[in-house]
Amino acid sequence: MRIHTPRFGRRAFLRQLGGGALAYTLPWQAYAEDDDLVTISIFNTTDLHGHIVPTQTYADKDGKVVTDVGGLARCATQIQAWKAENPNHMVLDIGDIYQGTHVSLSTRGQLMMRLLNGMNYDAWVIGNHEFDWGPEPLADAVKVSTPAVLGSNAKIDGVYANMLKDKTHPLAKIKPYLIKEIAGFRIGIIGSITPGLPAWSAPRLLGGFEAAPPIRSVLYALSRMKKERVDAVIVAAHMGLKGIGVPDDFANRITEIANEVEGVHAIIAGHTHKEIPSHKIGEVAYTQAGYYGIQCGRTDLVFSKSSRKLIAINTSTKLMDKSVAQDPAILSASAKDRQTSDAEWARAIGELKQDLTKDSVPGKPAQTLLLLTRAIRHALEERKVPVDGVLHGNFLETGIAAGRKTIADAWEVVPYENHLCTAGFTREDLLAVLTEVFNSKMSTHNLDGFKVTATKSGRKWQATDITLPDGKPLDPERRYRIALNSYDAQSGGRRYEILNKIATSAEAKQEFFPVQSREALIGFFTARKSISHADLGIER
């Protein structure tokens, strides 16, 4: 429902709103001249993924990217400007704070936490990528955080975090909600974590942590807030819409929360990396900034002092392009770590002797993928873990040119911190898994170490045969040891359910290794110094 100001004036309009309707389309400045009104603003970032300085967008459907956008330094400038406009405010981050850049990884997330502390954030919500490096970096982030850490559905070893008996537990600081009194009004913020964690992160990375289904925990927090007489309830959710009208899925329960929890006024979301400045789900206001700080979000709550009612909500996002300067304090506080990271980023790791192409079809890995699969095999063999094959996807959309390679190049090949694991697969298992990955949307997975035959019927691929590289048949009774990353083994976000079921079965005897795909690639170059087609089994 969209409500526009009638011609008979703002005061008469606001008196009509006293009957229960909320306005969702007017900027807060529209109410600034009325002495009976007060606007409380919530400024937010989300999915920063360690980006401090400007970066670029994802490629659009035409392959176009926008450069020189985003970064926490620009968000800080914008937030400071907004604070100056309205002293009645609070600042939130909606999760996925530190995973995603070399400088953040090199400080194990501590740099990003120091910056959020310095910016006087009020709270942040735990995101799924907070677990990519295991439970210890998250525990350290929670420990040093001066903002409240929110997660109403956070459970540790089956117990809600706020109910842990051991208050010395590193995650006992996690709160279901935060109430802050501003200008005489009490604003309640409920944190909610995506329940999709098990579809991405292996149990040992979660360390006993789970995100319960969100509805029950949001209802619990809301019941507690009512007793504390809050004036507005906001859900800050590290989950989001994938687009207007796109239904909820296993990891994103936004519509469910909006429709089933009475008393929520607005949802500030994240996770899906979509920018949705202003939307409504039923009677609940909804907003979502994008990713990497490319947009900064703002939610304005307008209250009547005399009636103490919330009469209007306005949500918006603002692009952090070059018109927004980078905050000098953020740049200064991060300068040393960024300089150290930049030097490491440029460090040479070896040489690639010939160009590698990206072309592949199911059953025939791309040359660029072979660089990664052979690196993974090398890393495991160095640890005395022989494998029969490597199943992995290719992150590159282009080939790799011959020449000197650096740490930065390794990040281009592998942009994520995915740990390695091995599991045992029978011949029939491999055929089923390969058929699944060949047909998964946007999958680039192939199996190195075997000869795979795949056929296409219509739009569907079928793995029809698999042999040893010399053409000899596989032993139908044997389980072949396959290396893969732990993200794929956990189903890759429920894309690879067959793979997950087999890889995590007792018969597969899955083993987990504290080495990541990118580390394997860097180690491969460092050990070999020079890598040729012959090293990758590429025939001329």
Question: Residues 372, 522, 53, 103: what is their CA dihedral angle, to the nearest 10 degrees?
Answer: 130
**Model confidence pLDDT, tens digit, residues 71-118:** 999 999 999 999 999 999 999 999 999 999 999 999 999 999 999 999
pLDDT of residue 23: 67
CATH 3.60.21.10 domain range(s) in the chain: 28-341
Residue 125 has which token pair? 């919500």
| Cβ-based neighbour number of residue 478 at 10 Å | 12
Q: Hey, which CATH number is domain 348-536, 2.40.50.140, 3.90.780.10, 3.40.50.720, 3.40.250.10? A: 3.90.780.10
* Mean pLDDT calculated for residue range 156-160: 96
Which CATH superfamily, name and number, covers 28-341? Metallo-dependent phosphatases (3.60.21.10)
Rounded distance between C-alpha atoms, residue 171 and residue 162, angstroms? 9
Element (H, E) at 285: strand 284-288
Rounded distance between C-alpha atoms, residue 418 and residue 519, angstroms? 10
Least Cα distance to 407 among 28, 142, 101 occurs for: 101
CATH 3.90.780.10 domain range(s) in the chain: 348-536
Least Cα distance to 188 among 92, 282, 81 occurs for: 92
158, pLDDT greater than 90: yes
| Cβ-based neighbour number of residue 340 at 10 Å | 14
Angle at 61 between CA 60 and CA 64, to 5 degrees: 45
Contacts of 155 by beta carbon, 8 Å cutoff, 6+ apart? 161, 209, 210, 211, 212
Name the residue with higher pLDDT: 346 or 441: 346
Residue 129 has which token pair? 């990528």
**Model confidence pLDDT, tens digit, residues 163-217:** 999 999 999 999 999 999 999 999 999 999 999 999 999 999 999 999 999 999 9
Identify the DSSP state of 460.
E
Residues in the chain: 540
Please provide the distance, in angstroms rounded to a whole number, between the alpha carbons at the two ends of the chain: 65
Q: How far is CA 351 from the centre of its chain?
A: 32
Supply the DSSP string of 469-497, one letter for each residue.
TTSPBP-TTPPEEEEEEHHHHTTTTTT-H
Residue 451: CA atoms inside 13 Å, Cβ hemisphere, count?
A: 8
**Model confidence pLDDT, tens digit, residues 244-287:** 999 999 999 999 999 999 999 999 999 999 999 999 999 999 99
pLDDT band at 1 (very low <50, low <70, confident <90, very high): very low
Rounded distance between C-alpha atoms, residue 250 and residue 495, angstroms? 12
pLDDT band at 320 (very low <50, low <70, confident <90, very high): very high
Rounded distance between C-alpha atoms, residue 59 and residue 271, angstroms? 18
Rounded distance between C-alpha atoms, residue 514 and residue 494, angstroms? 23
Least Cα distance to 405 among 338, 353, 342, 339 occurs for: 353
Identify the DSSP state of 532.
-
CB 275 within 8 A of CB 38: no
Supply the DSSP string of 111-164, one letter for each residue.
HHHHHHHHTT--EEE--GGGGTT-HHHHHHHHHH--SEEE-TTEEETTEEGGG-
Contacts of 275 by beta carbon, 8 Å cutoff, 6+ apart? 288, 289, 290, 294, 295, 317
Element (H, E) at 438: helix 427-439
Residue 102: CA atoms inside 13 Å, Cβ hemisphere, count?
A: 21
Element (H, E) at 451: strand 451-457
pLDDT above 70 as % of the chain = 94
Q: Write down the mean pLDDT value for the chain.
A: 94
* Mean pLDDT calculated for residue range 404-416: 97
Least Cα distance to 414 among 433, 432, 394, 399 occurs for: 394
Rounded distance between C-alpha atoms, residue 282 and residue 247, angstroms? 14
